Structure formats: structure tokens, C-alpha cells
Chain A
Amino acid sequence: MSLQESSISERAALLNSMRGFLILSLTDNFCELELDRIETDLMARLAADKFLIGVLIDFGLVQTTDASDLQRLELLTRAIRLLGRTLVVSGITPGLAALIVQHGISLHHEVAGYDIDDALERFQSCAIGS
């Protein structure tokens, strides 16, 4: 089954929620088209649930990507921030981090962690600290 054929509910499975965050787990082959669809789902979920604190984008399964996909991702993160939601990132590898800065991409994140749990813990300690 192609991504185009998958139903909204199946695609929304990419967006589990945890501790008030929508978790978006990207895979190694994420592309602009997929990000367009994810953005639609994500915006719908954020609009529907005012109690969601923010979005956590997990890159744990992403080894590499290209500049255009990263630019598309940057737009997505900016949109999330404009909705007044917190953005947390996790699982970014050294190679991916170098690639992101090399392409001058900003992910507009507030907190970053090694994995989803670590990122959420850090967010909570930041929230308590503030």
C-alpha cells in the first residue's frame, strides 16, 4: 500500500501522543510529499486538541536526508511554533546535526534530547525550572 493510499487514521498513527505531546517519528526515507501529508494531519490534531503542549519530532530512525527535505521540515517546525506550541526534537545523530547546520536549517526547537524519553524529561525539568 502506498502512502497516497493509506487512510488518514493510519497516517495519524505516526502521531502518537505522550505526556501532552504529539510524537512525530520520522523514518529514514521521509520526503517532502510525506511531510505535506504529515503537516495536514498534525495541524488538524493540534487544532482539535487545545490541551496539546507541543510536538516532539523524533529523528532516531533518520540517518541522512537532503537539503530540500530539511527545508520542508523547517517550514513545518516554524508552523508549529506559530501555533504557539512547544517544539522538542530527539534522536538527532552527529551526522544529521552536522548536515542540518551545514544547510543553515533551523528547527526552532526549544528542547532536544537523545531519545523521546530523555527529551520529554528535559522538557519537564525546563518547565519546572521556569
Chain B
Amino acid sequence: MTSTIPSLSVQQPYGVQELTRFYRIRPEGLEKVRSVSAQTMVHVEQMLDHFYVWMGGLPDFMAFFQGPESLQHVRSMQSLYWKRLLQAEISDDYLRDRRRVGEIHASIGLPVVFYMAGVSMVYDRIAAMNLELFSAGGESDVMLETMTALLHMDAGLICQSFVDKRDRMLQEQSQAVMAMSTPVTEIWDGILLLPIVGLVDSKRSEDIMNAVLNSIRTAKAKEFILDISGVGVVDTAVANYLISISKATSLMGCHTTISGISPAISKTIVQLGVNVNDVNTTATMMDALSNAFEARGLVIEKSERFRGR
């Protein structure tokens, strides 16, 4: 099922070369970060202390941690991340690791706004740390520029993979909903039944047509019953789709019966100018089933035991 909302996912995740170009990360900047990583790391630990004090005051953020152990675990992971960041080696593995964090955020439902608030808080601390470590001017500027670019790149990767993961989750849910909304079932050898309930729009009609035609091919069905007694009204586009389904199944050698057409739907079909001989209809699903069995050479009879009751 294709979503009508455009996907925000990128076709192919960007690699080291593209990302360093996008974020203007230069080798001399990375070299600068590497050269002072030991000094910086001391400040990073202090920054993390500060970060967790700050976060401790925000119950909305703390709700994502199951307890002190979980908090401690995340903190140790963050410490590792900073060590890695200060090594300033941007590799495919590094990018993968960042993307994995975004996926975790998407899985636990951490709002992007919370994550970005954390990034903003860290950014302020980085700027302050930079001033403490370097005198203002050339060296400080290079360091701050590079650290800013790295943080932005990491945040970008995390947000993008968050979006990608959510897109995939939505797609999976959408497929599950489609499967539930178009339960084409082979009720007997060569006979397919699809009862439709609820609102039908053009998108759902298209999904129904695809599901029906594919099921016909798989089951090599010869009879298809589309029961729409659970559908109140449809617009002309949907009515047209229902007729098209009937015609398309016929091209595949499958005879379609539409049962349970409401007076309102019948009026819509008539307005389309459809030749009623082109569509096979019955008042009830029972009639449609009975006709389908007959067409397949089957007879429904009461067993001996129930005769006379």
C-alpha cells in the first residue's frame, strides 16, 4: 500500500564523503579536535554531570528512563559517544552508530523536541568549554566550528534515522490496516469473498482492486463475491472503481458478483451511466453465495439429520 503522505526518507543513506561535504567538516578541523581530545574529555565528563542535573529537573524527559540503572546505562553510552566524537574519525561505522540511536529514539517514542533540547544544552556547554580551553581567535574558532558541525551532523543523522524508522513503522501499520480492510478470503475452492465494511474512498478502492486481482491470480478463483452491504454511500469515483473491479476480474477469467448494494449506491451507479448488464448483482450475500456454488457445480442441501426441522 502506498501512502498518500510523501515519505521523508532518503533513498540511500549518505556516506562519510557526502556528509562531511554537507556539514563543511574539514580535515584540519578534525585534526584540531583530535589533538585536544584528552583535555576536552575531562570537560565532557563535567558537562555530562551538568546535563544529567539539568535533565533531572525535567519530569517529561525523565519519564523515558525506567530507573537509576537505565539512566546510568544511557550516561555511560553517552560518555562512550563523546570519546568517539573527540577521536574525530568519521567512518561508516560511526555513522551507523548514530543512526542506530535515532532508531532507538523512534522505538521508544522520544520526541525529537526533547532530543534537540538536549543537543542545544550540550551545545551551550561546548561553547563555554571552548572558551575555557582556548584563547579567543583562530584556534578557538576552528575548534568551535568543527565541534558545531559534528554535533549538527550527528543530530541530523539521528533525526533522519528517527524519521526513517517512523516511516517504516507507519508503512508496516498501513500494510496491516490494508490487510485487515481487504480480507479477501477463499471460502470454497475457486470462490473468493470480500465483505467490505465502513467508509470506502478512492484509495481504499484501489487497494481493494489490487488485493482482489492478486488473490484471484493466487487462488485461480473463478467466482468472486464483493459484499458491500456494510457500506452506506460511495461517491461516483468509488462506484466506478467497483464496476472496474468487476470488469478487471472478468479479464482474468473470474466472474464477479456484487451483493448488498444499498439504494444510495445503486443511484450513484446509475448516475455513472453503467450498463446494468455489465455488472452482476444480488440483493444479499446469501444469494451471491448460492449462485457461486451453483456456478461451481455445488449444491447446498440439508443433511438427512436436519430434514423436517
Q: Which residues of A contact B (CB under 8 A)?
A: 89-90, 92-98, 100-102, 106-107, 109, 111-114, 118-119, 122
Neighbour of A94 across the interface among B217, B220, B247, B250, CB < 8 A: B217
- On whether A118 and B253 interact (CB within 8 A), knowing A94-B216, A102-B244, the answer reads yes
A and B contact pairs by CB, cutoff 8 A, 17 listed: A93-B217, A94-B216, A94-B217, A94-B248, A95-B213, A97-B252, A98-B213, A100-B247, A100-B251, A101-B247, A101-B251, A106-B247, A112-B250, A112-B251, A114-B220, A118-B253, A119-B253
Of residues 213 through 272 on chain B, the ones whose CB sits less than 8 Å from some CB of chain A are: 213-214, 216-217, 220, 244, 247-254
Compute how far the CA of A46 lies from the CA of B213 in the bound complex, rounded to whole angstroms. 33
| 8 shortest interchain CB distances as A-B pairs | A94-B213, A112-B253, A97-B248, A101-B244, A97-B251, A101-B248, A101-B247, A113-B253
The yes or no answer to B289 lying at the interface (CB within 8 A) is no
Point out the residues of chain B lying under 8 angstroms from A102, CB to CB.
244
- On whether A111 and B253 interact (CB within 8 A), knowing A101-B244, A101-B247, A102-B244, the answer reads yes
Q: In the complex, which residue of chain A has the Cβ closest to the Cβ of B216? A: A94
- On whether A114 and B244 interact (CB within 8 A), knowing A93-B217, A94-B216, A97-B213, the answer reads no
Point out the residues of chain A lying under 8 angstroms from B254, CB to CB.
112
Compute how far the CA of A114 lies from the CA of B247 in the bound complex, rounded to whole angstroms. 15
Point out the residues of chain B lying under 8 angstroms from A101, CB to CB.
244, 247-248, 251
Compute how far the CA of A54 lies from the CA of B248 in the bound complex, rounded to whole angstroms. 22
Compute how far the CA of A112 lies from the CA of B255 in the bound complex, rounded to whole angstroms. 10
Point out the residues of chain A lying under 8 angstroms from B252, CB to CB.
92, 94, 97, 112, 114
Point out the residues of chain A lying under 8 angstroms from B209, CB to CB.
98
CB distance from A47 to the nearest CB of B (A): 28
CB of A97 within 8 A of CB of B220, answer: no
Point out the residues of chain A lying under 8 angstroms from B217, CB to CB.
93-94, 114
Point out the residues of chain A lying under 8 angstroms from B213, CB to CB.
94-95, 97-98
Beyond contacts A89-B251, A97-B252, A112-B250: 9 other A-B pairs, Cβ-Cβ < 8 A, are: A92-B251, A93-B217, A97-B248, A100-B248, A100-B251, A106-B247, A107-B251, A112-B252, A112-B254
CB distance from A63 to the nearest CB of B (A): 13
Compute how far the CA of A112 lies from the CA of B254 in the bound complex, rounded to whole angstroms. 8
The yes or no answer to B210 lying at the interface (CB within 8 A) is yes
Interface string of B178-211 (1 = CB under 8 A from A): 0000000000000000000000000000000110
CB distance from B28 to the nearest CB of A (A): 54
Q: In the complex, which residue of chain B has the Cβ closest to the Cβ of A102? A: B244
Point out the residues of chain B lying under 8 angstroms from A93, CB to CB.
217
Neighbour of A122 across the interface among B214, B244, B253, CB < 8 A: B253
Compute how far the CA of A96 lies from the CA of B213 in the bound complex, rounded to whole angstroms. 10
Point out the residues of chain A lying under 8 angstroms from B244, CB to CB.
98, 101-102
Compute how far the CA of A94 lies from the CA of B214 in the bound complex, rounded to whole angstroms. 6
Q: Which residue, of A96, A106, A112, has the highest number of chain B Cβ atoms within 10 A?
A: A112
Q: In the complex, which residue of chain B has the Cβ closest to the Cβ of A100? A: B251
Q: Which residue, of A106, A114, A118, has the highest number of chain B Cβ atoms within 10 A?
A: A114
CB distance from A61 to the nearest CB of B (A): 16
Point out the residues of chain B lying under 8 angstroms from A94, CB to CB.
210, 213-214, 216-217, 248, 252
Point out the residues of chain A lying under 8 angstroms from B250, CB to CB.
109, 112
Point out the residues of chain B lying under 8 angstroms from A122, CB to CB.
253
CB distance from A80 to the nearest CB of B (A): 16
Point out the residues of chain A lying under 8 angstroms from B251, CB to CB.
89, 92, 96-97, 100-101, 107, 109, 112
Q: Which residue, of A90, A98, A111, has the highest number of chain B Cβ atoms within 10 A?
A: A98
CB distance from B75 to the nearest CB of A (A): 54
CB distance from A37 to the nearest CB of B (A): 24
CB distance from B220 to the nearest CB of A (A): 6
Q: In the complex, which residue of chain A has the Cβ closest to the Cβ of B254? A: A112
- On whether A98 and B253 interact (CB within 8 A), knowing A93-B217, A114-B220, the answer reads no
Compute how far the CA of A111 lies from the CA of B112 in the bound complex, rounded to whole angstroms. 58
Interface string of B129-165 (1 = CB under 8 A from A): 0000000000000000000000000000000000000
